[in-house]
Amino acid sequence: MSPSIREIQQKKKNSEKISVLTAYDFTSAKICDEAGIDIALVGDSAGMVMIGYPNTISVTMDEMMVFCRSVVNGSKKSLIVADMPFGSYQFDLTLAVANAVKLIKLGCHAVKIEGGIEVVPLIQRLTEYGIPVMGHIGLKPQTTILWEGYKVQGKTCDSALELYNQALELEKAGAFSLVLELVTKQVSEEVTRALTIPTIGIGSGPNCDGQVLVYHDLLGLFASFKPKFVKRYLESFSLNVEAVKKYKFEISTSVFPGEEHSFSISNEELSKFTKYLSILKDKHHIENKI
């Protein structure tokens, strides 16, 4: 069974770290489950790693719903948090609530919303309606990249104070936890200490209450680019390419499929089949001659 929101929050009180990993489909959800990951985050990073968009801005609700449904189908033991994509919550409170409800109806346990003070009314509304919300501050990929690209946040006193105040406001609004993305480690430590809700860091140092990584980064499914904060636990891309190359080679050399990958007809049925086949061939031969 998946942990409840309260059980996740209790981990902070018990000084137990919270493990979060993104999942986008049935298989990655099953792997998270099997590994005992606390929270499977259906991140809108799906747009980049699963669809190939250059960033998360283009991701739609329809696309997120497919990813969420797939993760719900594969996950039994992790808490599932669904990212609300850009444009699904900014413009109209009622529409935002309706979109969050869609994700919860699919079987997700909570939604994640990027933003500071501007999303406080939405977090209040969703929480009043019983929908748990994970906040997300620091680098907010849906919008920060429009202004300044992927930059570490909280490097000046002003920016640190802004993050600190945002975190307090989001907790007050009812967020059950808070992602801190690409925030300097000293600032994320202060924020973590100030909050009663757990902080989940990505590129924000070791003192957050939990950590999140993108599934494809952890497994090294992309060879080309590795941000400083990512630790690759496997070099899957090269391992996959090697395996596929071997497959291609074995097709070309008739090594695959082998005897063990083939199925047989019984001798009795085979001799009947051969007999009928020779009759058919003779018939065909005669017809072609006429």
For ligand KIV, the binding residues (CB under 6 A) are 22, 43-45, 83, 179, 181, 202, 212, 214
Smaller CB distance to ligand KIV: residue 206 or 257?
206
Q: Which residues are bridge partners to 137 per DSSP? A: 180
In this structure, are residues 179 and 200 in contact, taking their beta carbons and an 8 Å threshold? yes
Smaller CB distance to ligand KIV: residue 85 or 247?
85
Nearest to 115 by CA among 85, 95, 94, 92: 85
Provide, rounded to whole angstroms, the least separation between the CB of residue 12 and ligand KIV. Answer: 18
Provide, rounded to whole angstroms, the least separation between the CB of residue 211 and ligand KIV. Answer: 10
Provide, rounded to whole angstroms, the least separation between the CB of residue 182 and ligand KIV. Answer: 9
Sole residue written with tokens 């991140």: 43
* Cβ partners under 8 Å of residue 134, min gap 6: 81, 110, 111, 112, 113, 175, 176, 177, 178, 179, 200
Nearest to 139 by CA among 158, 124, 154: 154
Provide, rounded to whole angstroms, the least separation between the CB of residue 22 and ligand KIV. Answer: 4
Q: Letter for the amino acid at 99?
A: N
Number of other CB atoms surrounding residue 19 within 10 Å: 18
Q: Specify whether 118 is catalytic.
A: no
Smaller CB distance to ligand KIV: residue 45 or 78?
45
Provide, rounded to whole angstroms, the least separation between the CB of residue 270 and ligand KIV. Answer: 55
Ranked by CB distance to ligand KIV, the top (closest) residue is 43
Smaller CB distance to ligand KIV: residue 9 or 45?
45
The one-character DSSP state at 115 is B
Smaller CB distance to ligand KIV: residue 187 or 271?
187
Cα–Cα dist 90/132, whole Å: 18
* Cβ partners under 8 Å of residue 230, min gap 6: 213, 214, 217, 218
Q: Which of 114, 171, 181, 190 is catalytic?
A: 181
Phi-psi region of 99 (alpha: psi -120 to 50; beta: other; left: phi over 0): alpha
SS3 92: coil
Q: What positions carry a catalytic annotation? A: 181
